[in-house]
């Protein structure tokens, strides 16, 4: 049984060595270990605070981006509406200008036609007057003293008129 139970001297020296080692560890190692643990704990806490701050900033940035995107969409819609209105206005103005130009061209063409018509009528009147003068001249050249010659002349003119 001596082998199983240690002696009092051995227990004393083991206790003395343990307490000495414990004193040395407390004196020289315990404080640096606690300082390292405190430092690690504070760095972890700071990292968690930084992560929370970053998460909040990301949420704010996301909300701000959504707001900017919504505003940009509204501006785009407004610009597209203005551009569409401007194009419709330009098309309408172009149609009105084309209608006015067409009406002006038609009026000019009617005026030209009327002028040409008047010129043609004046030419016809001139030709009729000229023909009348020629007929009169022919009549006067003929000897109108005898009735038979006058009758033949009138019949000849009537025949010519019926042919034309």
Say what the pLDDT of residue 32 is.
Answer: 84
Is pLDDT of 82 > 90? yes
Say what the pLDDT of residue 118 is.
Answer: 93
pLDDT tens per residue across span 50-64: 999 999 999 999 999
| Dihedral Cα 77, 81, 84, 88, nearest 10 deg | 170
Residues 3-15, mean pLDDT to the nearest whole number: 83
Residues 93-120, mean pLDDT to the nearest whole number: 94
**Distance between CA atoms of 9 and 36, rounded to whole angstroms?**
38
Give the three-state DSSP class for 145: coil
Say what the pLDDT of residue 145 is.
Answer: 58
| Dihedral Cα 54, 57, 62, 64, nearest 10 deg | -170
Residues 36-57, mean pLDDT to the nearest whole number: 95
**Distance between CA atoms of 155 and 161, rounded to whole angstroms?**
10
Which helix (H) or strand (E) segment holds residue 144: the answer is none
- In the structure encoding, which two tokens stand for residue 42, read together? 């504070």
- Give the lowest-confidence range in 32-36, 53-57, 112-116, 160-164: 160-164
Would you say 139 and 153 are in contact if contact means Cβ atoms under 8 Å apart? yes
Q: Is the dihedral of CA 45, 51, 54, 56 positive or negative?
A: negative
Calculate the CA 150 to chain-centre distance: 90
**How many angstroms separate the Cα of 62 from the Cα of each of 7, 65, 129?**
74, 5, 99
């Amino acid at each position: 049984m001596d082998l199983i139970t240690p002696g009092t001297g051995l227990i004393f020296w083991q206790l003395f060595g343990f307490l000495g080692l414990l004193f040395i560890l407390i004196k020289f190692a315990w404080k640096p270990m606690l300082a390292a643990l405190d430092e690690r704990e504070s760095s972890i806490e700071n990292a968690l605070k930084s992560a929370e701050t970053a998460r909040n900033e990301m949420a704010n940035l996301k909300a701000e981006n959504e707001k900017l995107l919504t505003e940009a969409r509204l501006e785009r819609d407004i610009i597209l509406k203005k551009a569409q209105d401007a194009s419709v206005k330009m098309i309408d103005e172009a149609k009105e200008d084309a209608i006015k130009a067409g009406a002006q061209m038609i009026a000019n063409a009617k005026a030209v036609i009327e002028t040409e018509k008047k010129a043609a009528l004046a030419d016809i009147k001139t030709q009729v007057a000229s023909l009348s003068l020629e007929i009169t001249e022919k009549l006067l050249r003929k000897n109108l003293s005898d009735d038979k010659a006058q009758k033949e002349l009138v019949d000849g003119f009537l025949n010519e008129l019926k042919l034309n």
